[in-house]
A and B are shown apart, each in its own frame.
Chain A
Amino acid sequence: MHLKRIILLIAPVVLLLSCWKIKEKNNSSAKVWGYKPVYGTETFAKNILYTPVAQPVISGGNIYAYQNYIFQIEPGFGIHVIDNHIPSAATRIGFITVKGCSQVSIKDDKIYTNSYDDLVVLDFSNLNNLREYSRLKGVFTEYRFGSPISQPPLRGYFECPDYSKFVVGWVKDSVYQTCFKN
Chain B
Amino acid sequence: MKVSGYLLFVTLTILLFGCEKSDNAAPFSNSSTGVGGSLAKFTIVGNYIYAVSSHYLYTVDISDPAHPVTTGQHLLNFDMETIYPYKNRLFIGSRTGLYIYSIDTASAPRLIGEAKHGRSCDPVVANDSVSYSTLKGSSVCGPATSGLYIYDVKDLNNPVLKKTIPINEPIGLGMADSALYVCCAGEGLKVYCISNAYDPVERPSLPGADFIDVIPYNNILIGWVSDGIILYDISNRLHPIFIKKIAN
Query: What does the 1/0 interface line of B203-224 toward A look like (CB < 8 Å)?
Result: 0000000000101010010101
CB contacts under 8 Å to A, within B179-227, are: 213, 215, 217, 220, 222, 224, 226
> B67: CB under 8 A from chain A?
yes
B66 cross-chain contacts in A, Cβ below 8 A: 121, 133-134
> A63: CB under 8 A from chain B?
yes
CB contacts under 8 Å to B, within A68-92, are: 70, 72, 82, 84, 87-92
Given A64, A121, A182, which contacts B40 in the complex, CB threshold below 8 Å?
A: A64
CB contacts under 8 Å to A, within B33-80, are: 33-37, 39-44, 49, 51, 53-56, 58, 60, 62, 65-70, 73
> A44: CB under 8 A from chain B?
no
B244 cross-chain contacts in A, Cβ below 8 A: 87-90
Q: How far is the CA of A133 from the CA of B228 in the complex (A)?
A: 30
> B25: CB under 8 A from chain A?
no
| Residue of A with least CB distance to B37 | A63
| Residue of A with least CB distance to B53 | A142
Identify 22 residue pairs between A and B in the complex whose beta-carbon atoms are under 8 Å apart, listed by A's number. A62-B213, A63-B224, A64-B40, A65-B34, A65-B36, A72-B229, A82-B229, A87-B220, A90-B229, A90-B246, A92-B246, A106-B33, A108-B33, A108-B65, A110-B65, A112-B42, A112-B62, A119-B68, A136-B69, A136-B70, A141-B73, A146-B54
Chain A interface residues toward B at CB < 8 A: 56-57, 60, 62-67, 70, 72, 82, 84, 87-92, 102-108, 110, 112-114, 119, 121, 133-134, 136, 139-143, 146, 182
